[in-house]
Amino acid sequence: MSNVPTHAGAVVFREDGGERRFLLVRSSAGTDWVLPKGHIERGETLEETARREVLEEAGAAVEIVHPIGVTEIPTKQAVVAYFTARFEASVGSDEQRELVWLALPAARQRLSHDSARAILTDADRILGIRSGSDA
């Protein structure tokens, strides 16, 4: 499989009572807990795709902060570019997916796939490094 992204997504975070929390959504099938992500549409940048997918899947407006990395999902023949994204506002979604905000340990446990856990861990590390700057 090529390492050229076919999808983009985000690890959405917010500060809640001085603790960083992460947004997880139910998969479209409703069986798994995942990070918001989806297909890159013609003419979109990776960042635009990540923002759109978070909006569609979770009804959240976000600011893209920093690239995390790329991961492969062989079962879906997908290559996903992920970004950290700061939560800005709830704006509603037509998809009506279940969502949850969790601290890192609970979020890692709730995610259904090891690759998502690795991306979440990388995001938390990046945010920790950047917390001295503007993240």
- pLDDT tens-digit profile of 97-118? 899 999 999 999 999 999 999 9
Task: Name the pTM for this structure.
Answer: 0.91
pLDDT of residue 134: 46
Summarize the confidence of residues 52-57 as an average pLDDT.
95
Name the CATH code of domain 7-130 (choices 3.40.50.300, 3.90.79.10, 3.40.50.1100, 3.90.550.10): 3.90.79.10
Report the candidate in 119, 103, 132 with the shortest Cα–Cα distance to residue 10: 119
Average pLDDT, the chain: 91
Q: How confident is the model at residue 6 (pLDDT cuts 50, 70, 90)?
A: very high
Comparing 44-53, 61-70, 74-83, the range with the smallest average pLDDT is: 74-83
pLDDT higher than 70, residue 130:
no
pLDDT of residue 40: 96
DSSP 46: H
Summarize the confidence of residues 41-48 as an average pLDDT.
96
Report the candidate in 62, 37, 57, 64 with the shortest Cα–Cα distance to residue 99: 57
Ordered by start, the domain boundaries in the chain are: 7-130
Q: How confident is the model at residue 60 (pLDDT cuts 50, 70, 90)?
A: very high
Summarize the confidence of residues 6-12 as an average pLDDT.
96
Query: How far apart are alpha carbons 67 and 101 in whole angstroms?
Result: 21
CB-CB contact of 40 with 82 (8 Å): no
